[in-house]
Amino acid sequence: MPHSAADRNLWLAYANAVKEAIQFEPTHGTALYLSSKAQKGPFASPRIPLEYTNAGIYEAANNHLRTGDLFYHPDSRDSYVKSLRTFLQSVDAGARGDVHISIESCIRELEDSLEIYEKSADKARRTFKKHSDVGMTGDLTFSQWHQTNAPAFCNSIRDVEFASDALLAAGSVLIGPRAQKWNQDLRKLLYAMMSEQEIPGMTMPIDMDFILRSGEKSQKLLNKIKLRKKASPSKVVACVPAFYCPDYENVVRDWIGAGRRDEPGDRLYVRYAEGEIADEGGFGHEQQGDSFKFTYPPWLSFYVDGHELPFKAVMQDSDVDITISFDNLRIVKVAPGAWNLDNLSSSYPRMKAGLSTDTKKIAQPHRLVVINNLVLRISFSGRVVAEVAKQLNRIQYYGGFLNVLGVSAAIDQDRSTDQTSHTATWNAEDGVLEVVPTVDGGFATFIGTVGKAL
């Protein structure tokens, strides 16, 4: 999607403000990445299941960071884990002749099987949740229920296991240290992706209610924490490749108890004119040719019935003024489990011919940027006020929501929804849009990642 001058200038001004706030300077292959859609931070407390906190960490960490782009896109089907799998499938491991043909056939079969598995898993989990909400599943967990109630999902698991085994068997005939490393790396990555059991250091359990965007569950868990009651274990648990973020619980535990201050602790200022003169090379990314090719998302969008309408009004510096306030801003270390790959360029210098060079331009999530009680105040002036008012009236009438600099908000709602963590109010007389966190959804928000090129 082509971006406007306003998209570029306001996102760059925002990126500079975040960079200064976290005191980030790119060194040794590190770069700052911004989320095109900020992600809710999970609650962390001894009173709620660890699987719930794990799910939020997994969602925030498992994003595809491209070394040539300032942005990552959580709503896309890309992920860090998938980017590593794609990389390994693109490596020239030395196969030739019939062995090469066999491996390529197995790769295609695995990709097809994984696509079917992902769709059937999502459908099965949503069906289980729907039945569980009305008491139709009794005391069964999802792992127990699906064995007799989701045959398509069960078949897809077997198909992926068969395809994985076939690919590993086809690659096992290759000789040489590089080929052996390729087989070992592929084996551990597929093992972490498909394991149904928790394996310390390799996989971790997550609460799929978080992944399925259950705003209702978020509110219930917050109530448990405030009432000092222990929440029931999740019934919709899955195992995924592990990410570890040990400092997160210590950080947000204080945030939950503190609530929101009457006056925010700090402010960032986003100015259109500052974005105009900002240096795209100041965040640590690789140039593509003689320039940067950032995929700037719309700085402001309106959503109705799943359709996005970017705000396309031609703007200048005097038309908009943005102040971001917050109580706390932290960067917390995150590390993938033992399934992770490293030193990709030196370990695998040869790639298959004809593949995109982007395949090997991967950054590992190194630190997560998390903000507490994020508030945005956007002041519009002149001719753009009427256009903003028109779009806000539209989403309020049809029940949509807006997204501004990655933060999603419903109009005049006191609770988060499955799509939003904030609520927005509009002062038509002054032309001011204020976006504030809901109690249950916005206490912690992931807005970016510091990644390290592999």
- Tens of pLDDT, residue by residue over 24-53, are 999 988 999 999 999 999 988 888 899 999
Half-sphere exposure of 424 (CA within 13 A, CB side): 27
Convert the pLDDT of each residue in 65-111 to its tens digit: 999 999 999 988 889 999 999 999 999 988 899 999 999 999 999 99
> What's the chain's average pLDDT?
91
Strands 71-72 and 30-40: parallel
Query: In this predicted structure, what is the pLDDT of residue 214?
Result: 61
Token representation of residue 370: 């998390």
185 contacts 341 by C-beta, under 8 angstroms: yes
Query: In this predicted structure, what is the pLDDT of residue 359?
Result: 86
pLDDT of 118 higher than 70? yes
59 contacts 204 by C-beta, under 8 angstroms: no
Query: In this predicted structure, what is the pLDDT of residue 213?
Result: 64
Radius of gyration of the chain (CA): 23
Convert the pLDDT of each residue in 387-398 to its tens digit: 999 999 999 999
Only one residue has tokens 């928000």, namely: 445
pLDDT of 149 higher than 80? yes
Query: In this predicted structure, what is the pLDDT of residue 363?
Result: 96
380 contacts 319 by C-beta, under 8 angstroms: yes
pTM of the model: 0.94
What confidence category does residue 414 fall into, taking pLDDT thresholds of 50, 70 and 90?
confident
Query: In this predicted structure, what is the pLDDT of residue 215?
Result: 66
Runs of H (alpha helix) within 299-452: 344-347, 384-398
pLDDT of 413 higher than 70? yes
Residue 301: phi and psi, rounded to 5, are -135, 155
What confidence category does residue 439 fall into, taking pLDDT thresholds of 50, 70 and 90?
confident
Pick the residue with more confidence: 259 or 309? 309
Percent of the chain with pLDDT strictly greater than 70: 97
Convert the pLDDT of each residue in 213-238 to its tens digit: 666 777 778 888 888 888 888 888 99
Percent of the chain with pLDDT strictly greater than 90: 67
Please report the beta strands in 20-88, taking only residues with DSSP state E, as ranges in sequence order. Answer: 30-40, 65-66, 71-72
> Based on the number of CB atoms within 10 Å of its own CB, is 163 exposed (0-12), middle (13-18) or buried (19 or more)?
buried
> Based on the number of CB atoms within 10 Å of its own CB, is 320 exposed (0-12), middle (13-18) or buried (19 or more)?
buried
362 contacts 66 by C-beta, under 8 angstroms: yes
Mean pLDDT of the region 246-260: 79
pLDDT of 257 higher than 70? no
CA-CA distance, 218 to 440, in Å (whole number)? 6
pLDDT of 259 higher than 80? no
Four-residue CA torsion sign, 122, 124, 130, 132: negative
Mean pLDDT of the region 288-296: 89
Burial string for 19-50 (b: 16+ CB within 10 Å, else e) reads: bebbebeeeeebbbbbbbbbbbbbbbbeebbb
